A = this chain, B = another copy of it.
Amino acid sequence: MKLYGFWRSLATIRVRVALNLKGIAADEQVSVNLLKGEQHEAAFRQVNPQGALPALVLDDGGPALFQSLAIIEYLDETHPRPPLLPQDARGRARVRGLSLIAAADGHPLIVPRVRHYLEHELKLDEAARNRWLAHWTGEALLAMEGHLGGHADTGRYCHGDSVTMADLCLASQVIGAQFFKTDTARMPTVMRIFAECMKLPAFDTAHPLKQADAPQSSSH
């Protein structure tokens, strides 16, 4: 199994945590430098035609899996212990919905291709670009807070007292918020759950700054 990722890719964090929780070792981790645009190079397009991270190559010789949530669902189906989705359909719908708020509504607004457009097409200065990053990262977390705060199904984690896919998405989104200096005071439930997640080695060792390809002294 070969994982194509990058230290600061928020979508890669989610897959890294899932692999950690399930005790699956990726034999090889390939660093695709998003800051240098390596995701657009022909070599990587052969792995994932979309030119986006992460991508997971299985040992069966088939094409790479793509899109973090699709990869996590695959890992959950093929390595069911511990489960990352609840047993009941309603619970699964809630966990998937929470996951999508982060992975679909939040994260895609701040990825390299969008930042590139903001800078080179819209000619936004750095301050305006930083406001964009902080704003949309915060909006997604506020939306999660709206669904998590005071909800009967919220427990130690997003859904009860076991880690689910929603926690992987929440954690990656909060890590983004920390990079972008988003104000997180308005999302106490999100931040409480994030603190719970980061107590777990599976999350802690998946943190961007603990990756082999992370800069030693990072300005993010």
A residues near B (Cβ < 8 Å) are: 45, 49-52, 60, 62-63, 65-67, 69-71, 73-74, 77-78, 89-90, 92-94, 96-97, 99-101, 103-105, 107-109, 111, 113-114, 117, 121-122, 124, 128, 131-132, 135, 139, 143, 146-147, 151
Provide the residues of chain B in CB contact with A99, threshold 8 Å.
70
Q: Secondary structure at chain A's binding surface: helix, strand, loop or mixed?
A: helix
CA A77 – CA B87 in complex, angstroms? Answer: 12
Q: How far is the CA of A128 from the CA of B79 in the complex (A)?
A: 47
Report chain B residues within 8 Å CB of A65.
90, 93-94, 97
Q: How many angstroms from the CA of A100 to the CA of B70 in the assembled complex?
A: 8
Nearest B residue to A100 via CB reads B67
Contacts of A90 in B (CB 8 A): 60, 62, 65, 74
Closest to A104 in B: B104
This chain: how many copies in the complex?
Answer: 2
Cβ B146 vs Cβ A49 within 8 A: yes
Say yes or no: B108 contacts A104, CB within 8 Å.
Answer: yes
**CB atoms of A93 and B74 under 8 A apart:** yes
Closest beta carbon of chain B to A77's beta carbon, Å = 5
Q: Contacts A52-B105, A105-B108: A77 and B89 contacting too (C-beta < 8 A)?
A: yes
Please give the distance in Å from A165's CB to the nearest CB on chain B: 11
Interface pair B93/A73, CB less than 8 Å apart: yes
Residues of B near A70 (CB, < 8 A) are 92-94, 96-97, 99-100
Rounded to whole angstroms, the CA-CA distance of A86 and B83 in the bound complex is 21
A69-B96, A73-B93, A96-B67 known; A50 vs B104 contact (CB < 8 Å): no
The residues of B that contact A124 with a CB separation of less than 8 Å are 122
Complex alpha-carbon distance, A111 and B52, angstroms: 21
